[in-house]
Amino acid sequence: MPQRPRILDELRQTRPFPSRADEALVSLLRTTDVLRRHLGRCTEESEVTPQQYNVLRILRGAGSEGIPTLEIASRMIEQTPGITRLLDRLEAKGLVRRQRCPEDRRQVLCWITEPGLELLAALEAPVAKAAKEAFRKLSAAEIDTLLGLLERLRSTCTG
């Protein structure tokens, strides 16, 4: 007799999924939420959300050149329509600075500040530990397989 899928128990769902693809989708979305909350526990002490942490990492990677707001939005792990509000909050905390582009006044350039860099440095070890902890039950080969499968899924949905 096949074992009942654990995701049904986690969600306290009594009816089976219409298909294995539906089950996989719900399981992946549930896992994403669990991982997001796991990472959030690392960043919440620093009073930044995982999305804000993502913005700070993007800005650090952009270096001294700065980066336009819309480019930040396109690089986000989790797409958000509220990039301006996200940057407003980070700027209010002194973690980023923004300036209108002198060549194109419609464009706003963003940079990470020294306190933003210091915050990222402080979060580096806790975030690395959280990632290691989250994947501790998977072997290196299983992680490689997972990465390949996720890449194939993304490529199917993005064109």
pTM summary value: 0.85
Boundaries of every domain in the chain: 42-124
Mean pLDDT of the chain: 91
State pLDDT tens for residues 8-58: 888 888 888 899 999 999 999 999 999 999 999 989 989 999 999 999 999
The CA distance from 58 to 116, in Å, is 11
Checking if the pLDDT of 64 tops 80, the result is yes
- CATH class of residue range 42-124: mainly alpha
Burial track 44-64 (b if 16+ CB lie within 10 A, e otherwise): eebebbbbbbbbbbbbeebee
